[in-house]
Amino acid sequence: MGEGAVTTAVLTERIVGWLDPDVLFFVGVAGSLKDDITVGDVVVATKVYGIHGGKQTPEGFMVRPEAWRSSHRLEQVARHSVRGRRT
């Protein structure tokens, strides 16, 4: 987590305590290797990697990233919401 992560975490914790939401979405900013994704596009991940996992060993830090798949329902809702909107 980069710049602003601590402030974001504190504010998120306060808002969750105040509003008691059923669902939270993490929305971030990222680059793209594809030319068809432009500024302002919404991208829904099908697989998310937790890159900070691992284990400290005498040889150094051994990265052990975790991965989570998006639910089938989330993927279907995202695909349905953009049908016919691509230019």
- Residue 74: inside a domain, yes or no? yes
- Give this prediction's pTM: 0.44
Percent of the chain having pLDDT more than 90?
13
Split into its structural domains, the chain has a count of: 1
Q: How far apart are the first and last CA of the chain?
A: 33
Residue type present at position 33: L
Domain assignment of residue 78, given as a range: 5-82
- Residue 18: inside a domain, yes or no? yes
CA distance 28 to 8: 11
User: Which has the higher per-residue pLDDT, 32 or 17?
Assistant: 17
- Residue 24: inside a domain, yes or no? yes
- Residue 87: inside a domain, yes or no? no
- Residue 22: inside a domain, yes or no? yes
CA distance 14 to 17: 5
